[in-house]
A and B are shown apart, each in its own frame.
Chain A
Amino acid sequence: MTIKEIARLVEGEIVGAPADDTYDVEKAFASDLMSDVLRFSMDETVLITGLCNNQTMRTSEMADLRVVVIGRDKQPDEDMLELAEDLDITLIKSKFSIFKISGILYEAGIKPLY
């Protein structure tokens, strides 16, 4: 699934790095705990989180994540947006809860990480 399709499904707004139309997302992982994110391989995975700070970006960088859905209507600040652009990470801001975002993407065929 493309990043733009994910954004459409969760009624989200794309910010940070521009969406790479060639990137194919197959799996999702939902967590606010960044150490849990670092435990797993995140290839072709979208992170769904309510944690909205620079550490979300740094953790995504270390985990090789390319796309992050920020739920619960959290607003990234300028620093975070700049870091996302520098690290080439696309953010999707959504007003929906983490549960709702997860449900929508699961129903649309995105697989759980495990």
Chain B
Amino acid sequence: MHYTFEIERGNFTDAGQASSSVKRTLKQLGVAPANIKRTVVALFEAEINAIAHAYGGTIDVDIDDQKIVMVVADQGPGIPNLDLAMQEGWSTASAEVREMGYGAGMGLPNIKKNTDDLKIESTVGVGTTVTMTVFFA
């Protein structure tokens, strides 16, 4: 199964719709609740990151009976220092993003904690692609 979602810059009103849709699909497929939770927390954090920091992008989701692979690809400023970005508490979020309840510097650490495989490719001035895999078994 393949799904694609669009990410719109700064659109916090619709933020979480992709994660919500994936959650419903995984429930219908009978995936274990603990794996659904891990998946949607990771995807939601990545979705929020892209909305907060990038200029737009896409989310591609592939689901089979073993795993879910989620690719969040944005066009944006990129991440200059990935080691810093992976540290809990490190954030470059704007005041507006913080008012929304995000920007605490927990996004990438939360994604790492909830996925079995995480790949982040980022080019400054071009964008970031986050590939997350959760195995169901």
Contacts and interface: CB of A to CB of B under 8 A. Distances in A.
Given A38-B44, A62-B41, A33 B16 contact: no
Given A33-B101, A34-B102, A55-B12, A61 B23 contact: yes
Given A55-B16, A62-B40, A64-B37, A35 B100 contact: no
A35 B26 CA distance: 22
Interface in B10-29: 12-13, 15-16, 19-20, 23
A14 to B, nearest CB: 22
A62 B19 contact: yes
A58 B20 contact: yes
B107 A35 contact: yes
Chain B: number of interface residues, binned into ranges: 20 to 34
Interface string A54-80: 111011011110000000000000010
> How would you classify the secondary structure of chain B's contact residues: helix, strand, loop or mixed?
helix
B101 A63 contact: no
Contacts of B58: none
A51 interface: yes
Contacts of B104: 33, 35-36
